[in-house]
């Protein structure tokens, strides 16, 4: 890119959300006297007798977590959705006051029995077990006629709302397609109707050719800092072969996914020499019974850290009232991430 774009305020188009992102590179020089976070500290023990996700311990509902040896899935004891919620609708004011029942299933997926591990420190073979469990959950829940979307995600670190440091993620299966994938669905359908090509597959091809924002890759997957990234070290994980869902992945692609997840998570930890917090989630195609040739399975990683282990990005002010905004350019963030990924 021209130097002008790397130094001057400008905006970038996000085709996946069909919205603009403001980039303000000069703001990295501003002094900081705001909130300072406490650096994350790795879990110190392999087993914590007070952790309800460690094998054999009692959970809040009185049930005991079994002595599991690999991945383990159970129904969330405090689920945001319920399967048996009574059907109801509410509509007043010419559609301005609307509400309706949303049913679904929420599960917790423990990555490993060890309390002190994360995707950054787990063996790749064990991460492959997690990939297989994600696939099994997506296949099982997505096959249910009442489910239209299966959202797999992980909140890593207390800064991103994780209530327990034990390595785990969640699976929420919903009766309707949630807002974020619904927005992406509209954009990908529009692009496919015009070009007869999947949007994200075309985008990845462009990024691989330009090679400016690619931070890690293997034979089956690639990680890029998206051209339209909002979070400082945001990344987008994409398969080299455009597949719509977990169930479409070959054994080799599952191997590659486990490998690149480890590379990415471990690389993040080296940016500021601290366990890197993030929210990450996969967006597969909707499980609504319709074909989705426009869709490419992908994962978003949204880490909040900006300048150090103690200074984070806040989504406030203009971001809430105007449009998304970032300080460091995606190219600068990609250069930093590429350097730490290459030291693995």
* Crossing angle of the two packed helices 199-210 and 179-195, in degrees rounded to 10: 80
**CB contact set of 309 (below 8 Å; sequence gap of 6+):** 37, 39, 40, 272, 273, 274
DSSP per-residue codes, 175-229: SS--HHHHHHHHHHHHHHHHHSS-HHHHHHHHHHHH-SSEEEE-SSEEEE--TT-
**Residue 32 pLDDT:** 43
* 3 state SS of 14: strand
Chosen CATH of 42-341 out of 2.170.270.10, 1.20.1090.10, 3.40.50.720, 3.30.428.10: 3.30.428.10
**Residue 94 pLDDT:** 87
Catalytic residue among 115, 166, 168, 300: 168
Q: E strand or H helix at 107, and its extent? A: strand 104-110
Q: What tens-digit pLDDT sequence spans the chain (344 residues)?
A: 556 566 789 999 999 999 999 999 876 555 544 555 566 667 789 999 999 999 999 998 889 999 999 999 999 999 999 998 888 999 988 889 999 999 999 999 999 999 999 999 999 999 999 999 999 999 999 999 999 999 999 999 888 888 899 999 999 999 999 999 999 999 999 999 999 999 999 999 999 999 999 999 999 999 999 999 999 999 999 999 999 999 999 999 999 999 999 999 999 999 999 899 999 999 999 999 999 999 999 999 999 888 787 777 888 899 999 999 998 999 999 999 999 987 65
Pick left, alpha or beta for residue 56 (phi over 0 → left; psi -120 to 50 → alpha; otherwise beta): left
**What does the alpha-carbon distance between residue 166 and residue 53 come to, in Å, rounded to a whole number?**
7
**Residue 228 pLDDT:** 98
**Residue 342 pLDDT:** 74
Q: Position of tokens 């809040």? A: 60
In this structure, the number of other CB atoms found within 10 A of the CB of residue 204 comes to: 23
pTM: 0.94
**What does the alpha-carbon distance between residue 306 and residue 302 come to, in Å, rounded to a whole number?**
11
Judge contact between 71 and 133, C-beta under 8 A: yes
168 is catalytic: yes
- Residue 298 tokens read as 């992908």
**CB contact set of 150 (below 8 Å; sequence gap of 6+):** 137, 138, 141, 142, 171, 172, 173, 284, 287
**Residue 246 pLDDT:** 98
- Residue 33 tokens read as 């006297």
**What does the alpha-carbon distance between residue 153 and residue 147 come to, in Å, rounded to a whole number?**
17
Strand order in the sheet with 235-239: 72-75, 104-110, 168-174, 149-156, 278-283, 298-302, 235-239, 221-224, 214-217
Distance of CA 192 to the CA centre of its chain: 24
So where are the chain's domains?
Answer: 42-341
**What does the alpha-carbon distance between residue 154 and residue 175 come to, in Å, rounded to a whole number?**
21
Q: Position of tokens 């890593």? A: 156
């Amino acid at each position: 890119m021209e130097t002008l774009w790397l130094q001057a305020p400008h905006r970038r188009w996000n085709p996946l959300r069909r919205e603009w992102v403001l980039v303000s590179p000069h703001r990295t020089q501003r002094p900081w006297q705001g909130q300072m976070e406490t650096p994350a500290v790795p879990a110190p023990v392999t087993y914590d007798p007070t952790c309800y996700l460690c094998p054999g311990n009692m959970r809040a509902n009185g049930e005991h977590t079994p002595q599991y040896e690999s991945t383990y899935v159970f129904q969330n004891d405090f689920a945001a959705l319920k399967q048996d919620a009574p059907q109801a609708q509410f509509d007043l004011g010419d559609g301005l006051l609307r509400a309706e029942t949303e049913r679904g299933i929420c599960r917790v997926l423990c990555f490993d029995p060890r309390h002190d591990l994360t995707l950054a420190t787990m063996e790749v073979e064990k991460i492959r077990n997690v990939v297989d469990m994600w696939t099994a959950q997506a296949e099982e829940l997505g096959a249910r006629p009442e489910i239209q979307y299966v959202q797999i995600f992980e909140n890593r670190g207390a800064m991103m709302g994780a209530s327990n440091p034990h390595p785990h993620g969640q699976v929420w299966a919903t009766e309707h397609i949630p807002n974020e994938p619904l927005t992406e669905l509209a954009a990908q359908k529009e692009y496919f109707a015009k070009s007869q090509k999947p949007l994200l597959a075309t985008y990845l091809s462009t990024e691989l050719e330009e090679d400016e924002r690619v931070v890690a890759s293997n034979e089956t997957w690639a990680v890029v800092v998206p051209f339209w990234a909002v979070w400082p070290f945001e990344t987008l994980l994409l398969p080299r072969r455009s597949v719509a869902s977990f169930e479409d992945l070959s054994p080799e692609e599952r191997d590659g996914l486990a490998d690149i997840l480890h590379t990415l998570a471990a690389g993040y930890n080296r940016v500021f020499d601290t366990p890197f917090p993030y929210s990450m989630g996969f967006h597969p195609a909707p499980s609504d019974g319709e074909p989705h040739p426009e869709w490419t399975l992908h994962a978003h990683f949204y880490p909040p850290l900006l300048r150090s282990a103690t200074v984070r990005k806040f989504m406030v002010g203009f971001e809430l009232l105007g449009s998304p905004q970032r300080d460091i350019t995606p190219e600068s963030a990609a250069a930093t991430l590429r350097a730490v990924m290459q030291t693995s």
